[in-house]
Amino acid sequence: MGDYLIDRQRLLDIGCGESNFVGRVGSTPVEMVVGLDVSIEALRKLKSQDKRLLLVCADAQRLPFCAESFDLVFCMEVLEHLSRPQRAVTEIYGSLDVRGVVALSTPKFDISFMRDFLITVARRVIGYEII
């Protein structure tokens, strides 16, 4: 993962929970790594493992960050738990730098609503058309 992160200096892990993924990424030479979760209990447990971590208790459907705050956003196995996943995708897009990257996964979840989002990103970032 380290090689991939070379040009990605500001990372956000949405739904970090109690995992120490943000801690492992934080050990690479990046400017900022933020873990976000809706569970304050999970964040407290994670913080007790590593006091250096920057953790934010917030909802993915209403991110508390300025536009273009991150170069890389991880959102793994989160959208299927949200009442308005479309809103979360819009928030992620807004927090992402113009040349930013989103790493997203969901288990067996209908993400057809993301088609327009992906087309817009593809046009904006790499100039390709998705059909």
Residues 6+ apart with CB under 8 A from 67: 94, 95
What is the C-alpha R_g of the chain? 15
What string of pLDDT tens digits covers the 131 residues of the chain? Answer: 445 555 668 989 999 998 767 767 656 667 788 999 999 999 999 888 878 788 999 999 999 999 999 998 999 889 888 888 888 988 998 999 988 888 888 776 666 666 666 666 666 655 554 44
Identify the pLDDT of residue 67: 95
C-beta atoms surrounding 47 within 10 Å: 14
Instruction: Provide the Cα torsion 110, 111, 113, 115; round to 10°.
Output: -130
Burial of 51 (0-12, 13-18, 19+ CB in 10 A): exposed
Identify the pLDDT of residue 29: 67
pTM for this predicted structure:
0.78
Identify the pLDDT of residue 117: 65
User: Hey, CA dihedral for 12, 79, 94, 42, is it positive or negative?
Assistant: negative
Return d(Cα 25, Cα 103) in angstroms, integer.
Answer: 14
Return d(Cα 66, Cα 42) in angstroms, integer.
Answer: 24
Identify the pLDDT of residue 106: 79
Identify the pLDDT of residue 130: 47
Q: What is the DSSP annotation of 38-56?
A: S-HHHHHHHHHH-TT-EEE
